[in-house]
Structure 1
Amino acid sequence: MVPLHAACVWLSLAPLLVLGVPPIWTQPEQVHLSNAGAPGSMVVTWTTFNKTESKVEYGLLGGRLFEMSAKGDATLFVDSGEERRKMFIHRVTLTGLKPAANYVYHCGSDEGWSDVFLFTALNDSSSFSPRFALYGDLGNENPQSLARLQKETQLGMYDAILHIGDFAYDMDEDNARIGDEFMRQIQSIAAYVPYMTCPGNHESAYNFSNYRNRFSMPGQTESLWYSWNLGSAHIISLSTEVYFYLEFGQELLFKQYEWLRNDLEEANRPENRAVRPWIITMGHRPMYCSDDDQDDCTKFDSYVRLGRNDTKPPAPGLEDLFYRYGVDVELWAHEHTYERLWPVYGDKVYNGSRERPYVNPKAPVHIITGSAGCRERTDKFNPNPKEWSAFRSTDYGYSRMQVVNATHLYLEQVSDDQYGKVIDSIWVVKEKHGFSAWL
């Protein structure tokens, strides 16, 4: 029989003994989906902290569970913080998916499987009317809009999410543990619908390494810029940060500009614009804004809009490029507010008409939606905005968008402060798309 005092000693040592055993980190976490950029496909991405096989087992809802499987690869990501934490990012592309069919899946390996999730394969038809939630600047501290977005996603209200830069606040902090926690938080959204992203200034640490490694957007640019199609829309995601972080390579600025020009040229080929007439862009820092932030809105004319003259050669801005190729809607964040602009180009308003400004507008429509919720709270507005500012709100919230058909697009703003009330909405109606629509 063990003496009582000896038993107490063993019990006191038990936590140390447990902690002395290294954990086996083979359990999948941080599961999220993204569009692969090709019809009938979906990318599943997740993280483990030990190397394992990368496998997704899936099947049609109501059919035989996990009757299909696909394998992929894992890449080692070593965070640049002082601990040099290691994690393995797994990517598996599912192909041959039936449009609009519901699938059940889990991911992992025989060393550990995720929870079971559900997704609806994207409808490849150009007559499809996709529904989006869109926002930027969502952190894992004060994520005001998160619970509402989680519930609405799981109710099936969205076909895709557009997160327009600034994640976690910040992904690199605490040796990237903040990034891990944020990715766990959004799993309840991103494991069910494609979670499409672009980089913001809060991802800049270590040359955007957390952003470039954690997400899996289409193309070969480490998710910095890319395009994809859904319904009657061609959607372009870009990095505004190439205009600001020249220390990471000025050539990226010109490389992206050249890619954008080529992508817009292709999207404007008559046979392509006839099928996908709407061109929508998303980038983090806006061309126009009226926040009193002593930053982009008040200190200087936007580099993103006008370019930079202090580079060799001078770096072109994007406003003229987007106008020339008839971009219809431009989505932005960065400012921790919501702001809708009248159709604007060259700092001037070009409404379709006085009575119906968004019916056949003569310039692109800009939306700024950066109030999802983060530790930096919301911003204040300049009390005297320019004439292009149509509606402003400092409420926490997010936007919804539906590309209804080739001529009609609907946008609305949800206030989380007002318990999900829609506080702003517009219909953008265009009988003609492309540069000729401005004339």
Structure 2
Amino acid sequence: MRCQSWLCLFCLVLPWMLCQGTSRSHPQQVHLSYPGEPTAMTVTWTTFAPAGSIVEFGPEPGRAFIASVRGEASLFVDGGCERRRLYIHRVTLRGLVPGQRYVYRCGSLRGWSRPYSFRALPNGTNWSPRLAVFGDMGNINPQSLPRLQRDTQQHMYDVMLHVGDFAYDMDQYNARVGDAFMRQIEPVAASVPYMTCPGNHEEKYNFSNYRARFSMPGDTEGLWYSWDIGPAHIISFSTEVYFYLKYGPHLIQKQYQWLEKDLQEATRPDRRRRRPWIITMGHRPMYCSNNDLDDCTKHESIVRQGLPEHQYGLEDLFYKYGVDLELWAHEHSYERLWPVYNYQVYNGSTAAPYTHPRAPVHIITGSAGCKERLDSFVLNPREWSAVRIEDYGYTRLHIVNSSHIWLEQVSDDQDGKVVDGIWIIKELHGPEAWH
């Protein structure tokens, strides 16, 4: 197959996305992630030639780099016909003071990044994490990105959750679109941990661009993992194992067994007392009321019910272990569901549906902005659908304490107006809460 002529297509249509005129060993695409270890942070970046992997950093106030840590680089060869070679550098900073702000730069004597700063996550459970949550953001029409960047500059978030679908697509034009996207998000992702899960747009070459570019906790290359933050346990998983069986149907079983083991550990009485909130993030929803033919519009959704004969279905698994909140994307819109299980609504009460809900709460937030634009809804809302909004935007998640979560939806179309907001209030967590 003849290689894509990216020079005529890419340079003429998207000239602003090309690499800057810097050395091939100069760091770019800088981003942070939380490695799951208290008092640690991982810095990841890319070069196009071999170079050292060094992070220099120091506490703020002040701009002095008083410490230096070395890491390692791995060669990533894109699956496109050019077989482009990228060097992905990873350095983990350890021994950070919880809550302390740090200034850092990354690179080597062959070139350094500009200085960035971040706040080390507070340790323990007695604090109130603030997260931005969204999915489906490309580098064409990333409408919410400038507002997310402004929020980040105002230190509004401790973590970003990107719930699948990046760049549209990272593999395109021999991974140059992935490079452009990672440069676009750098002002945000180099300042707060940017935590991810894979979506369908990452599928090419067995999710290789996703697995190479992001540094998530655990040893599954970010396809599924979990981590703790404040009074919450967050589980990221891949809905895509159910749809791309060519990469191995065994992945469905492997992930499901991992999920159940992780949930068993998270719901041990001593663990659940310390971190009562269990929150999941996966790309394709179990339910949605969009006007399309996606999996979530089907009564027997694959994500919800699993393979034939209900093998490896996730709804029963999450219900069994008392998952409190399920975050989704894929649909290019925002939808908040009533507490729901098996198509039945289990509100806490008529007056306060999210106070002591008797089933998990689902939020679909896939309207950050991409070239595929927004998705519409069916005319008649489903009985389990509480709020549906077709604006570009993103979600803010504030885990206030062990019993209260505040969720709000920001509309970028309406200049940052908060267009939806709910309190989830639960004194009791776990499957016993459903009864």
Question: TM-score under structure 1 normalisation?
Answer: 0.93
Distance 1:138 1:64 in 2: 33
Work out whether 1:87 is the aligned partner of 2:83. no
Q: What does 1:24-103 align with in structure 2 at a 5 Å threshold?
A: 24-63=23-62, 65-103=64-102
- How far 1:24 moved relative to its partner? 4.3
Aligned residues of 1:77 and 1:88 also touching (Cα < 8 A): yes
The residue number in structure 2 matching 1:231 is: 230
Aligned residues of 1:253 and 1:315 also touching (Cα < 8 A): no
Where has structure 1 moved over 6 Å in runs of 4 or more?
none
Q: Return the match for 1:365 from 342, 361, 372.
A: 361
- How far 1:384 moved relative to its partner? 1.7
Task: Tell me the percent identity.
Answer: 64
The residue number in structure 2 matching 1:6 is: none
Q: What does 1:254-293 align with in structure 2 at a 5 Å threshold?
A: 254-293=253-292
The residue number in structure 2 matching 1:382 is: 378
Aligned residues of 2:287 and 2:297 also touching (Cα < 8 A): no
SS in 2 for 1:367: strand
The residue number in structure 1 matching 2:15 is: none
Aligned residues of 1:136 and 1:370 also touching (Cα < 8 A): yes
Give the partner amino acid of 1:218: P
The residue number in structure 1 matching 2:350 is: 354
SS in 2 for 1:400: strand
The residue number in structure 2 matching 1:3 is: none
Q: What does 1:245-256 align with in structure 2 at a 5 Å threshold?
A: 245-256=244-255
Aligned-residue CA RMSD in angstroms? Answer: 1.2
- How far 1:300 moved relative to its partner? 5.4
Give the partner amino acid of 2:59: L
The residue number in structure 2 matching 1:432 is: 428
The residue number in structure 2 matching 1:406 is: 402
Give the partner amino acid of 2:370: C
Work out whether 1:315 is the aligned partner of 2:311. yes
Question: TM-score under structure 2 normalisation?
Answer: 0.94
The residue number in structure 2 matching 1:17 is: none
Work out whether 1:345 is the aligned partner of 2:341. yes
Work out whether 1:135 is the aligned partner of 2:134. yes
SS in 1 for 2:25: coil
Q: What does 1:118-133 align with in structure 2 at a 5 Å threshold?
A: 118-133=117-132
Distance 2:22 2:92 in 1: 29
Give the partner amino acid of 1:279: I
The residue number in structure 2 matching 1:302 is: 301
Work out whether 1:196 is the aligned partner of 2:195. yes
SS in 2 for 1:184: helix
Change (3 A) 1:371 1:23: closer
Give the partner amino acid of 1:190: A
Distance 1:315 1:200 in 2: 21
The residue number in structure 2 matching 1:19 is: none
List per-residue Cα deviations over 1:300-328 (Å, max 9, x = no partner): 52111100118xxx631100110010000
Give the partner amino acid of 1:166: D
SS in 2 for 1:179: helix
Give unpaired runs (5+ residues) of structure 1: 1-21
Give unpaired runs (5+ residues) of structure 2: 1-20
> Larger C-alpha radius of gyration, 1 or 2?
1
SS in 2 for 1:297: helix
Give the partner amino acid of 1:321: L
List per-residue Cα deviations over 1:59-95 (Å, max 9, x = no partner): 0012561110111110000001011100000000000
Distance 1:253 1:155 in 2: 41
List per-residue Cα deviations over 1:219-268 (Å, max 9, x = no partner): 00000000011110000000000000010011111110000000000000
Distance 1:23 1:85 in 2: 18
SS in 2 for 1:432: coil
